[in-house]
Amino acid sequence: MRRILLLLVPLAALSGCAFSGGGEDAPKTVTLVTHDSWAMDKGVIAAFEKKTGYRVRTVASGDAGALVNKLVLTKSDPIGDAVYGIDNTFASRAVDAGVLADHTASLPTSAEAFRPSGEAAQQLTPIDYGDVCMNVDNAWYTAHHQTPPATLDDLTKPAYKDQLVVPGPPTSSPGLAFLLTTIAAKGDAWPTYWKALLANGLKVDSGWTEAYETDFTAGGGKGDRPIVLSYASSIPDTIAKGGTTPTTSALLDTCFRQVEYAGVLKGAEHPKIAAELVDFMLTNAFQKQLPSQMYVYPAVTTTALPTEWARWAKVATKPYAIPAEEIAQERTTWLRQWRDLATQ
């Protein structure tokens, strides 16, 4: 028994710090609710903290869907002051449920194109965007003396049988974006297109990690599929160490544009500072960090991009889009329809 005590004493002494953090949260803290992919340079945040005298506390709350649902469920007693990470596929749900207060930052002209429509225009400020597109492993196609596909229709051709892997629409936000791509492209015939994809050996994974890191040939796993649904910004990542060109490319005719917004929560404890935080996200200091921190493009499109991005991470000129109101109205129906045709 004594030996156990000897073991426990140093451990108990250690255990002070994880629980002592309580005090610092008390006054002058502004809480930013985000999705799990939130990342920002500590120096940039420190600059805001210095300017306002408020500490910024972030609360990561799952993916974009879980984030919005948490805000809806805690509406009467919000879990923070501001929110970042509501995207154009969930924007209407947040606005309709009334979780947001009226506030938008004044948008520079170059960001105007991303302004949401309807009531959301008074509550959500666009911060960044990203293009969800098919990525192809050019190295694989060269080695196998084949031509990579270029369009959505190519993906159903026998030449590309068993070559495509996508993350699933119900469990992954790029997956949902691809479902919306097919709906925007094929209209009511989208289920037929998906049936053709499935008949052509489409593999559906639960998330981006499984699709890209396990099944994609260029993803570092033992994958055997040279086409994957990922982001236009994934391309520079495949420049090998010492190399100069990426081994993959994005099919820019297959893209859906995701826009991410920030806003002030209704019932916020510090609405003024929350509004300042939203405004701060449009400043150059914040915007220019977006590519390296969160792999997204600054909504203020005049912001300078990292050299590799400027050269290799091109965005689509004509991405597919569906109005946020229509997505909000139809999402559940579409997803249930998708589940019925793609799963048992």
Partner 1 sequence: MTWRRSSTALLAAVPVAVLAVFFVYPVVGMVGRGFVVDGRFAPDDVLAVLARPRTLRVLWFTVWSAGLATLVCVLAGVPLAWALHRLSFPGRRLLRGLVLVPFVLPTVVVGVAFGQLLAPAGWLGFLHLQGTAVAIVLALAFFNVSVVVRTVGSFWEDLDVRREEAAAALGATPWQVLRTVTLPTLLPGVVGAATVVFLFCSTSFGVVLTMGGLRYANVETEIYLLTTQELDLRGAAALSVLQLLVLTALLALAHLTGRAVPVDRVRARPRRPRRGDLLALGWSALVVAALLLPMLALVVRSLATAGGGWTLEHYRALGHVSAALPASALTGLSNSAQIALVATALSMLLGVAVAGLVTRPGGGRWRSVLDGAFMLPLGVSAVTLGFGFLVTLDHPPLDLRASPWLVPIAQAMVALPLVVRTVAPVLRAVDDRQRQAAASLGAGPLRVLLTVDLAVAWRPLLAAAGFAFAVSLGEFGATSFVVRETTPTLPVLIYRLISRPDAGDVGTALAASVVLAVATALVMLCVERVRP
Site for partner 1 in 32-61 (CB under 8 A): 36-42, 57-60
Binding residues among 73-132 for partner 1 as defined by CB under 8 A: 73-74, 77, 79, 93
Distance from chain centroid for Cα 37: 7
Region near partner 1 per CB under 8 A, out of 46-54, 141-149, 199-207, 249-257: 199-207
Q: Does 66 bind partner 1 (CB under 8 A)?
A: yes
Nearest distance from C-beta of residue 249 to partner 1, angstroms? 16
DSSP strands (E only) in 65-124: 82-87
For residues 322-341, which are near partner 1 according to CB under 8 A?
331-332, 335
Q: How far apart are CA 238 and CA 235, in angstroms?
A: 6
Q: Is the CB of 191 or the CB of 221 nearer to partner 1?
A: 221
How many residues are recorded in the chain?
A: 344
Q: CA 127 to CA 90: how far, in whole Å?
A: 15
Q: Which amino acid is at 326?
A: E
Nearest distance from C-beta of residue 94 to partner 1, angstroms: 11
What does the alpha-carbon distance between residue 84 and residue 223 come to, in Å, rounded to a whole number? 34
Q: For 220-232, b where at least 16 C-beta lie within 10 A, e where not — what string?
A: eeebebbbbbbbb
Strand 29-34, strand 55-60: pairing: parallel
Nearer to partner 1, 171 or 283 (CB): 171
Cα–Cα distance measured from residue 25 to residue 51, given in angstroms and rounded to the nearest whole number: 18
Q: At what angle do helices 173-186 and 190-199 cross, to 10 degrees?
A: 120
CB of 177 to partner 1, least distance (A): 13
Binding to partner 1, residues 218-277 (CB under 8 A): 218-224, 230-231, 233-234, 237-238, 240-241
Q: Which residue has the tokens 């990470």?
A: 85
Give the one residue of 17, 53, 187, 244 binding partner 1; rule: CB under 8 A. Answer: 17
DSSP label at residue 170: T
Report the residue from 214, 283, 301, 337 that binds partner 1 according to the rule CB under 8 A.
214
User: Per DSSP, what are the bridge partners of residue 32?
Assistant: 58, 82
Identity of the residue, 293 or 301, whose beta carbon is nearer to partner 1 in the bound complex: 293
Binding to partner 1 (CB under 8 A) within 289-308 occurs at 289, 292-293, 295
Q: What is the nearest approach in angstroms of partner 1 to the Cβ of residue 112?
A: 28
With respect to partner 1, which residue has the nearer C-beta, 115 or 195? 195
10 binds partner 1 (CB under 8 A): no
> Which stretches of 173-270 are DSSP H helices?
173-186, 190-199, 208
Comparison of 7 and 121: residue with beta carbon closer to partner 1: 7
Q: Which residues in the 166-185 window bind partner 1 by CB under 8 A?
A: 168, 170-171
- CB nearer partner 1, residue 235 or residue 275: 235
SS3 assignment, position 162:
coil
**Count of residues binding partner 1 (CB under 8 A)?**
79
CA distance 301 to 304: 8
E-strand stretches of 35-124: 55-60, 82-87
- Using the contact rule CB under 8 A, the part of the chain among 72-80, 120-128, 278-286, 299-307 near partner 1 is 72-80
Instruction: Report, in Å, the least distance between residue 10 CB and partner 1.
Output: 11
Q: Does 207 bind partner 1 (CB under 8 A)?
A: yes
Write each residue from 132 to 171 as x if it is in contact with partner 1 (CB under 8 A), else as -, in one continuous string: ------------------------------------x-xx
- The closest alpha carbon to 32, from 80, 68, 65, 90, belongs to 80
> 47, 285 in Cβ contact below 8 A?
yes
Smallest gap from residue 266 Cβ to partner 1 (A): 15
